[in-house]
Amino acid sequence: MSLFKAIYVGVVVAVLSTGAAAQSVKLQAHEITALLNGNTAVGEWDGIGYRQYFNPDRSTIYASEGTRSALGEWRVDPERDEYQSIWPRDAEWEGWFVMEFAGDFYWVSKTTPPTPFRVVEGEQLIAE
């Protein structure tokens, strides 16, 4: 292979891989479970910081600044590839897709814009 052809192939591969990395990806059920199970999501919801721990026993604790923590349940629906939660005040399970874009995670639903969050290992409901 000529040097020119080798450089051309290298540039094409770099451009294609850069484009693929910039695409958003909807996580599948097993990926959502692996991401959340036993870990804490950290982000902002309506401008208020929150932390949510996803216990392996399927309970979840939602803690936000200035309010009491809430205890709910969580699960992952393998048919819809979505995270779902239910809280004592709710009558039905609410579902969210989990998207990844450029290494960042987002909650996505039909009624709200993508909301970024990050995941920290283990139960970390109190900010350090």
Question: What is the pLDDT at residue 128?
Answer: 63
Question: What is the pLDDT at residue 110?
Answer: 84
Q: Span 112-116, mean pLDDT?
A: 90
Domains and CATH numbers, the chain: 24-120 (2.40.128.640)
- 126: confidence class by pLDDT, cuts 50, 70, 90: confident
Cβ partners under 8 Å of residue 115, min gap 6: 43, 44, 45, 106, 107, 108
Report whether pLDDT(7) > 80.
no
- 95: confidence class by pLDDT, cuts 50, 70, 90: very high
Determine if the pTM surpasses 0.85.
no
Q: Span 87-104, mean pLDDT?
A: 93
Q: Which residue has the tokens 């009558």?
A: 91
Distance CA 31, CA 24 (A): 14
DSSP state of 27: P
Report whether pLDDT(71) > 60.
yes
Q: Which of 15, 35, 18 is nearest to 99 (CA)?
A: 35
Phi, psi angles (nearest 5°) of residue 57: -80, 5
Percent of the chain with pLDDT over 90: 68
Name the average pLDDT for the chain.
85
pLDDT digit string, tens, across residues 10-48: 333 333 344 454 688 999 999 999 999 999 999 998 889
Question: What is the pLDDT at residue 10?
Answer: 36
Q: Which residue has the tokens 């600044």?
A: 65
